[in-house]
Structure 1
Amino acid sequence: MAVTERNDPTSPRRSRRRVVACAAVAAALAAATAACGSEEEPLHSIGYAIDNVVTTYNANTVDGAASGAPQVFARVLPGFGYVAPSGQVVSDTDVGTAAVVPGDTLTVKYTLSPNAVYSDGVPMSCDDLVLTWAASSGRFTEPDESGTETNLFDAARRGGYADIDRVDCQAGSKEATVVFRPGRDDTDWKTLFGATELMPAHIAAARAGVGDLVGAVTGNDTDAVRRIAEFWNTGWALTPGEFDAALFPSAGPYRIESYTAEDGLTLVANERWWGNAPATDRIVIWPRGTEAATASGDGRIHVVDVAEGSLGYTPDLGDGAENTTVVSRNLEQLVLSTRGVFENPAARRAFALCVPRDRLFDEFGAAGEDGGVTGPVSSRLLPPDSPLYPQTAETAERYAHADVDAARSEREASGQDRMEVRIGYLGPDDRRSRIVALIAESCRESGIEVVDAGSDTFTPSRLADGEVDALLAGTATAAGAGGTADMEDARGALHSGTGSNVGGYADGRVDELLDGLLVAKDNASVAGQAVEAERILWDQVPTIPLLAQPRTIGFAPGLHAGVVNPTTAGAGWNMDRWILRG
């Protein structure tokens, strides 16, 4: 699916492109950088620019998962696996090992490295796994003001964590035994407890005033867990100029040293890291909200990973740098509210019918030689390079082209004389602004007025709060890099029990099918459930998939070990291996 082409990151989109396989580009980049002169002194600091905000250390909350935290902290908060350039999860044995225990019920034994320790000197332990499970399993709920049971933890992900029956852990131990519910042998269990998912449980417990986090969780002590959740939800917020190092211990090759708008988010080598030392002492992240354009002009940015055309400036990586455009695993889509103007499914169908998906692909998409991406993405559940994709994509035929008359008919069927749709997104973003403008132009004749509600403080939770009617974002509401090969996060964001389902969509049969896909072991089962689910989803239209997002990834000349990763991990997936020779 991943494909590439040289291109300026802010150049206007041309018509459909022919590009080459990303694997070939990665190999070429690795070979080229390895050939750089080793006699030159390596630089001690590398700048890395992304097209997202970094507002929290916790990449597992709804807004945290949509932020740049998964991109930035994979080598600060590692786990038992990481997302490789292929989009698949690869085991990270520096952190520990995970092995299936024979038996009728899926049981996995996790063993942390005996040397695993946080940068504040506190050892990593199974307490960290228990906290992750408690937060994402959905087992701790309370009724809200309307009486609806709501998760105490503002967790974005659900997936396989909800299938875990228990985590056997002796507080402080290096071992945990994770036991799944009978009949729930999740095929993607290796994606659990991965990079950025293991948060320092000792910090959460201390700040919540809970002496025994494991006991509180396993003993269902709701009062104690509520206090833990309150900290977990907001306690790891990151604001430039207000950094308290004590709250942010690292378990990876890097730790945070400082965070300011003027000097970026600075990562430095973690002195307590037990694996191979990072090749470069300092990585400076330049997210939205920092003076990245100034840093670029000063020559302080050496790696860039952004959606093509999303930034208002052209990152300058130096003479001889090459920018690579990659068709990523990130699904650009519209997520619709199921309340307000879109409460009636007919209204959502009306909007989907006037969105010019084919035109948006022609202007903002890219086609690849591997045949995976040839037009607008028409499945929410399977990637275009899956051999089963064509079966699921057939149900989207009605929405292949904008149909003004059909859209008007569905709008009238919804009982609305006119509709106003506010589309929110993280800005400023020239690319997404243009997408909204084209949608507005196409929908106007159908009696649907579109309002651009993008802002530089936008978060996905604004859709859940009713401040906008639709969200323009990537996979599982990601504002920047996103997506994996298994599409677990994309599927999870359509489940009624998942935090990233910010549109509030709920359908019992779709939940059953999504749960079935987690344990499906053969293609026939996957295809059958995915096709049925897509039929329902294209009738109820909680989301409108648009295209596989092209991303521009660039490495400065002389940067060794820079390898394109067109997934949620982004180019920084292996930043501890980067070396830049001047």
Structure 2
Amino acid sequence: MKRFSIAVGLTAVGALVISGCAPGDGGDAGDDSGLVEGSSITAAWNQAFYSMNGNTSFGNATANNNINYLVLDGFNYYNNTPELVQNTSFGTYELVSEDPLTVTYTVNEGVNWSDGTPIDAADLMLTWAALSRALDTPDFDPNEFTDPETGEFTDAFPEDVVFFNSGATQGSRFGLVTQTPEISEDGQSITLTYDAPYVDWELAFGSLGTILPAHVVAKNALGLEDNEEAKQAVLDAIDSEDAASLASVSSAWNNIFNFTEMPEDSELVTASGPYIISDFVADQYVTLTANPEYSGDNAANIEEITVRFIPDPLAAVQALENGEVDIIQPQATADITTALEGIEGITVDASVGGTYEHVDLQFDQARNPENIFANPDVREAFLKTIPRQEILETLIRPIIGDEAILRDSQIFVPGADGYEEAVAANGSDAYNDVDIEGARQLLEQSGVTNTEVCLLYASNNPRRVNEFALIQQSANEAGFNVTDCGAENWSALLGTPGAYDASLFGWQSTSLGVTDWTANFVTGGINNLSFYSNSRIDEISQEISSEFDPEAQKELQIEADRILFEDAFGVTIFQFPEVTAISDRVTNVSSSILAPTVFWNAWDWEVTDADTEE
């Protein structure tokens, strides 16, 4: 199970996910909102929604989290400045103590799920159990129970293990909260005590799109019918560390929110945010309708938002021109910018975004029977063949001109403090130019006899199809046999044992956290889809978690960046060009450099020609 996106260069980096303010001040939105009955708009995205649980390695994708951000409320979110906004209409959090680090989270009275059930400590406790994995069965490895064709867990997955598929690792984020939190007497608060200081504590819990309904999970897991009884069952299982009940609860948390069309069980779309999923047609669209139970500050202005799934960027442009969609943010190509120039009644913004393209290699669990990239010579050889400059010049520069740039760091975003220092020290210049002869020599000395490299990418994305063709041609000249593992469900296959040997996709930034990059590289991290492991990287991930000095943080990141290039983890290619096009019939739309980009303030959008019901 896997999914993700990556951070941008505003300060350093933040959390990643796999890649799809009110104007004026960029601050809290929604104070002036007023629902216009009968109003509707349609936006387009390049990948279909498939999971309402973006906390799992399977569901952690931009295509999912765009939607989850709007249907699951939480304690904070980023505006488009970007700066972190505390969502005090949902609840509050308080730093109780710095030593030991202790934080109390409180959900406001009167905040409900869309079925009327109050949101309270049971929902927060389930979130802690899932994101900390403190109650998981020790040393359990789920990889042998993952279907290489779909990326989902198989029917053979053992029923007696506790395993929350959140990728939490010891010594980082909620992996630092191993003690069971305390619940307040009124049942509205929980208090977390960290095992060690954690610099990004404010980002560790309960942002928009994170907290799932405990009563829905427990009803599915334990066969209960009453909502309050179900919530209490979650609390009891956690308090008593009841392994049998927790095994069922963790399985339900991992799996029940994965669906590719409207589920028969309507409880699975129970929402807490300004919108609720009201319709979902496989591979076509998902429709969000204003949540009548929502009482927060970010109340919807538009009654219905439909997100259509249009993988082909030119088809998205055509839909915009035809008036079938109002907002698009397609994978940018030169043809896209040209096509948009001829459309009247739209606003277009083109710039460098917060996502970067990259190729990752499978260190273990590869498709190749010789596990080809377990050999460091072969890793280096393959990376020497990636035509980074050609990809930039032929596919990216025609879109945004000289602003198009290569990215030469796994951790720092171009322009961020520390980027130039990292690039000077990390050895990335070894991949500035294609070196076929050097690659051929390394491949020959490796002793590898099966040189097949199955490359996973989005087969319905024209730009990635072109990138694959350029990589295939170049690598094959050095003696590799690059085969086409392109798939429409590529993101579900990321990190799936036996599914591929190398992958081509984008990471998109979700936060400005100092430590969130570690999830990509630490052993067992949620975004470590390559089965990569380096003891020093693991040490750095723990050291930086407790490091509050910015200069010391930067030095640790620079060291980690160098190690990743020394290990030939993979290679970065370019920062994404981002093109957003908006119909003039929609106002208050602006994109953020962080995920969920254009959706960050969807509750603020307004239509200029709304049809209203009398």
Q: TM above 0.5, one fold?
A: yes
Question: Who is 2:377 aligned against?
Answer: 346
The count of residues paired between Structure 1 and Structure 2 equals 543
Per-residue deviation at 1:488?
Answer: 4.5
CA separation in 1, counterparts of 2:125 and 2:473?
A: 50
Corresponding residue of 2:200: 187
Identify the residue that residue 474 of structure 2 maps to in structure 1: 442
Distance 1:45-1:29 versus aligned 2 partners, 3 A rule:
farther
Deviations 1:112-137 (A, max 9, x none): 12121100111111222222222222
- Which residue is equivalent to 1:274? 295
| Residue among 572, 581, 584 paired with 1:557 | 584
Is the Cα–Cα contact under 8 Å of residues 348 and 581 in structure 2 kept in the other structure?
Answer: yes
CA gap 1:322/1:416 in 2 versus in 1, 3 angstroms: same
**Distance in 2 of aligned mates of 1:43 and 1:332:** 40
Q: CA RMSD in A?
A: 3.4
Instruction: Give 1:535 deviation, angstroms.
Output: 2.0
Q: Which residue of 2 aligns with 1:178?
A: 192
Alignment pair present for 1:469 and 2:501: yes
Is contact 1:495-1:514 (8 Å) kept?
yes
Change (3 A) 1:66 1:488: farther
Q: Secondary structure at the residue paired with 1:75?
A: helix
- SS of structure 1 residue aligned to 2:471: helix
Which residue of structure 2 aligns with residue 109 of structure 1? 104
Q: Aligned equivalents of 2:104 and 2:482: distance in 1?
A: 51
Pairing of 1:469-548 with structure 2 (within 5 A): 469-475=501-507, 482-486=509-513, 488-548=515-575
Aligned equivalents of 1:570 and 1:376: distance in 2? 21
In the superposition, relative to structure 1, how do residues 48 and 492 fare at CA in structure 2: closer, same or farther (>3 Å)? Answer: same
Q: Could you say which residue in structure 2 is the equivalent of 1:118?
A: 113
Residue identity matched to 1:502: L
1:359 aligned to which of 379, 390, 398: 390
Change (3 A) 1:283 1:201: same
With over 3 angstroms needed to count, the CA separation of the structure-2 counterparts of 1:262 and 1:189, relative to structure 1, is closer
Task: State the shift of 1:420 in Å.
Answer: 1.8
246, 260, 264: which is aligned to 2:281?
Answer: 260
Task: Verify the 8 A CA contact 2:540 2:556 in the aligned structure 1.
Answer: yes
Deviates more, 1:461-470 or 1:102-111: 461-470
Contact 2:42 2:324 in 1 (8 A): yes
In the TM superposition, what is the alpha-carbon distance from 1:147 to its structure 2 partner?
10
Q: Determine whether 1:162 maps to 2:187.
A: no
Distance 2:178 2:436 in 1: 50
Find the partner of 1:410 among 434, 439, 442: 442
**Deviation readout 1:238-278 (Å, 9 max, x if unpaired):** 22254532221111111111112487211111111112431
Instruction: Give yes or no for contact 2:37–2:303 (8 Å, CA) kept in 1.
Output: no
Q: Would the aligned equivalents of 2:260 and 2:282 in 1 still touch at CA under 8 Å?
A: no
Unaligned 5+ segments in structure 1 are 4-22, 31-40, 476-480
Kept in 2: contact 1:42–1:579 (CA 8 A): no
Distance 1:362 1:483, change over 3 A: farther
Deviates more, 1:155-164 or 1:120-129: 155-164
Could you say if the C-alpha distance between residues 455 and 465 of structure 1 is closer, same or farther in structure 2, counting changes exceeding 3 Å? same
What code does the residue aligned with 2:177 have?
A: I
1:419 Cα offset (Å): 1.8
Distance 1:552 1:290, change over 3 A: closer
Q: 1:418 to 1:497 in 2, by over 3 A?
A: closer
What's 1:11 paired with?
Answer: none
1:478 matched to which residue of 2? none
Whether 2:234 is the aligned partner of 1:213: answer yes
Match of 1:389 among 419, 425, 436: 419
TM-score, L = length of structure 1: 0.84
The alignment status of 1:425 with 2:449, answered yes or no, reads no
Distance 1:374 1:523, change over 3 A: farther
Give identity over the alignment, percent.
Answer: 23
What displacement does 1:356 show? 1.9
Distance in 2 (CA, whole Å) between partners of 1:502 and 1:310 is 31
**Alpha-carbon distance between aligned partners in 1 of 2:24 and 2:333, rounded to the nearest angstrom:** 24
Report how far residue 374 of structure 1 moved.
6.7
1:179-206 superposed Cα distances (whole Å, 9 cap, x missing partner): 1113x33335335321111111111112
Q: Tell me if the contact between 1:365 and 1:550 (Cα under 8 Å) persists in the aligned partners.
A: yes
What residue number does 1:332 align with?
357
The aligned amino acid for 2:392 is F
* Counterpart mapping for 1:23-172 below 5 A: 44-139=39-134, 140-142=136-138, 143-144=140-141, 152-156=163-167, 159-166=172-179, 167-169=181-183
Tell me, what secondary structure is at the counterpart of 2:600?
helix
Q: 1:196 aligns with which of 189, 198, 209?
A: 209
Matched residues in 2 for 1:151 and 1:347: separation?
37
2:362 partner amino acid: S
Is residue 358–residue 400 contact of structure 1 (8 Å, CA) maintained in 2?
A: yes
Instruction: Assess, with a 3 A threshold, how the Cα gap between structure 1 residues 499 and 101 changes in structure 2: closer, same or farther.
Output: same
Q: When the two structures are superposed, what TM-score results if normalisation uses the length of structure 2?
A: 0.80
Structure 2 CA distance for partners of 1:145 and 1:356, relative to 1, 3 Å = closer
Which one-letter code corresponds to 2:566 in the other structure?
A: D
User: Which deviates more from structure 2 when the two are superposed, residues 419-428 or residues 282-291?
Assistant: 282-291
Matched letter for residue 501 of structure 2: D
Work out which of the residue numbers 317, 326, 329 in structure 2 matches 1:302: 326
Partner of 2:227: none
Q: Separation in 2 of the partners of 1:231 and 1:312?
A: 42
User: Contact 1:81–1:191 at 8 Å: present in 2 too?
Assistant: no
Look up the equivalent residue of 2:183 and give its one-letter code: C
Deviates more, 1:445-454 or 1:240-249: 240-249
Q: Once the 2 structures are TM-superposed, how far is the Cα of residue 58 of structure 1 from its aligned partner?
A: 0.8
Q: For residues 358 and 520 of structure 2, what CA distance do their matches in structure 1 show? A: 12
Whether the aligned pair in 1 keeps the contact of 2:89 and 2:108 (CA below 8 Å) is yes
Q: How far 1:290 sits from its partner (Å)?
A: 12
